[in-house]
């Protein structure tokens, strides 16, 4: 029947974008005469893991990682991968460890978000992974059961582009049947249904999605995977959100899924950090943050955001789940709609809504949330917004403006 493609955003490099185009062309040719519909999602982020491509067939879910190498390959579960004398992913996880993390990010997300009874039509333990090499490699796949543990070799795969179609046809699960509405449920659970439904489509809010148990203690440490899941589960466990503060889009580097939040205090302290500027306006300056750190109350900005959420009912989110600056209008719409399912649930709990951004944030909010009237629209805290509106910016962000609003003083 067809292959349906959805690219969340362009890749970071020229060769990845070209490889995606080649990949889509190959699959289009192969499945054009097939009775099956295949979905291929490019550059998808799941639980903070950036997956190069995700292939969903009737009988398999396959996380794909691109590698631009050629030559004779040696693989291992724990040791470095070597190809023609060169280490793959030098200084980082080897491809097996990388895709192991991707597999379980997908498993965890789908397990939490699919409707009750999904076990009858998809075995999430059978999610597969594939390392796809751009160039020709030399490796005998029948050796994989010796190079990896028997369990790993059942779900882990590798091939080069010339053997992609053969490999995809080989990857099947007899306890997976993802057709019709089941396929739609998977796309909705991953937050990508709007990529295939058109720019005006909205995935319904997942009102019956099970929410993880809330936590009462700080996260501890400087890094924790799945922080956004923890944070928004905590938000949904509250009886009410007193103030929902909506920003524009994620940070350009190292976003963790929560608007204005950084992973490390070092980054949060920087003069150009919008999150630091917002907290300063809330009356929570670096002096307060340093004392909380010294007293052992927080370890990192994530602890700080959870503390403010739990104790003051102040929640942060973004209007878009992608950087908007380089997106076309249609791509912006898609990015906003992907964030909308969560944001609608937060809005329904919120007593007050404050938008940060009088241009992009405000325009996109009024376009996609008709009938929802924010209490305030303030200039965005980024230093870029200050360039042409210095007085207005200073009136908001060099004073305790947000604190006074929340206290009902103005």
State the CATH number of the domain containing residue 282: 3.40.470.10
**Is it the case that residue 75 has pLDDT exceeding 90?**
yes
pLDDT category of residue 408 using cuts at 50, 70 and 90:
confident
In a domain, 300, yes or no: yes
Neighbours of 265 (CB within 10 A): 19
**Which tokens in the block code for residue 29?**
């040719």
Q: How far apart are CA 215 and CA 218, in angstroms?
A: 8
CA-atom Rg of the chain in angstroms:
23
Which residue's entry shows tokens 């405000």? 362
Residues 63-83 have a mean pLDDT of 95
Domain count of the fold of the chain = 2
pLDDT category of residue 204 using cuts at 50, 70 and 90:
very low
Q: Quote the pLDDT of residue 197.
A: 63
**Which tokens in the block code for residue 57?**
């067939």
The number of angstroms, rounded, from the C-alpha of 7 to the middle of its chain's C-alpha atoms is: 13
Both 34 and 148 in one domain: the answer is yes
Mean pLDDT, the chain, as a whole number? 87
Both 19 and 141 in one domain: the answer is yes
Taking CA atoms, 97 is separated from 60, 94, 100, 225, 270, in Å, by 21, 5, 5, 15, 33
In a domain, 330, yes or no: yes
**Is it the case that residue 48 has pLDDT exceeding 80?**
no
**Is it the case that residue 207 has pLDDT exceeding 90?**
no
Both 96 and 178 in one domain: the answer is yes
In a domain, 219, yes or no: no
Residues 155-183 have a mean pLDDT of 94
Q: Count of residues for the chain?
A: 410
Q: How far apart are CA 186 and CA 345, in angstroms?
A: 20
Both 119 and 243 in one domain: the answer is no
Residue range of the domain that includes 114: 2-197
In a domain, 72, yes or no: yes
Both 160 and 287 in one domain: the answer is no
Both 37 and 128 in one domain: the answer is yes
Both 297 and 360 in one domain: the answer is yes
Q: Using the 3D structure, point to which of 175, 197, 219 is the last residue of a domain.
A: 197
Taking CA atoms, 39 is separated from 11, 168, 175, 205, in Å, by 18, 13, 19, 22
Q: Using the 3D structure, point to which of 197, 218, 243 is the last residue of a domain.
A: 197
Report if pTM > 0.85.
no
Q: Quote the pLDDT of residue 1.
A: 55
Both 304 and 161 in one domain: the answer is no
Burial class (CB in 10 A: 0-12, 13-18, 19+), 120: exposed
In a domain, 214, yes or no: no
């Amino acid at each position: 029947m067809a292959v349906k493609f959805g690219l969340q955003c362009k890749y970071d490099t020229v060769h990845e974008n070209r490889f995606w185009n080649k990949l889509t062309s190959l699959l289009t040719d192969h499945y054009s005469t097939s009775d099956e519909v295949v979905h291929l999602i490019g550059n998808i982020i799941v639980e903070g893991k950036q997956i190069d491509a995700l292939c969903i067939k009737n009988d398999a879910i396959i996380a794909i990682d691109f590698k631009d190498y050629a030559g004779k390959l040696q693989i291992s579960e724990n040791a470095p991968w070597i190809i023609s004398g060169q280490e793959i992913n030098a200084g980082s996880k080897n491809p097996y460890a990388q895709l192991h993390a991707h597999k379980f990010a997908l498993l965890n997300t789908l397990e939490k978000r699919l409707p009750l009874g999904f076990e009858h039509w998809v075995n999430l333990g059978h999610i597969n992974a594939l390392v796809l090499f751009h160039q020709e490699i030399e490796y005998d796949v029948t050796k994989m059961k010796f190079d990896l543990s028997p369990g790993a070799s059942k779900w882990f795969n590798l091939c080069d582009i010339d053997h992609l179609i053969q490999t995809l046809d080989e990857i099947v699960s007899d306890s997976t049947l993802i057709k019709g509405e089941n396929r739609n449920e998977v796309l909705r659970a991953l937050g990508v249904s709007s990529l295939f439904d058109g720019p005006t489509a909205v995935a319904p809010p997942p009102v019956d999605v099970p929410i993880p148990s809330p936590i009462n203690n700080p996260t501890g440490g400087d890094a924790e995977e799945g922080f956004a899941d923890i944070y928004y589960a905590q938000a949904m466990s509250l009886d009410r959100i007193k103030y929902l503060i909506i920003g524009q889009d994620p940070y350009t580097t190292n976003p963790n899924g929560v608007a204005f939040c950084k992973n490390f205090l070092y980054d949060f302290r920087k003069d150009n950090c919008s999150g630091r500027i917002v907290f300063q306006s809330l009356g929570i300056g670096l002096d307060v943050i340093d004392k909380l750190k010294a007293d052992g109350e927080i370890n990192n900005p994530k602890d700080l955001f959870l503390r403010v959420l739990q104790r003051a009912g102040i929640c942060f989110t973004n209007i878009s789940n992608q950087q908007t600056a380089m997106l076309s209008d249609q791509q912006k719409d898609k990015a906003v709609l992907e964030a909308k399912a969560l944001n609608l649930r937060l809005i329904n709990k919120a007593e007050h809504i404050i938008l940060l951004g009088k241009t992009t944030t405000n325009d996109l909010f009024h376009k996609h949330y008709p009938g929802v009237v924010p209490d305030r629209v303030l200039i965005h805290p980024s230093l870029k917004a200050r360039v042409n509106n210095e007085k207005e910016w200073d009136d908001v962000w060099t004073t305790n403006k947000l604190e006074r609003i929340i206290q009902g003083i103005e």
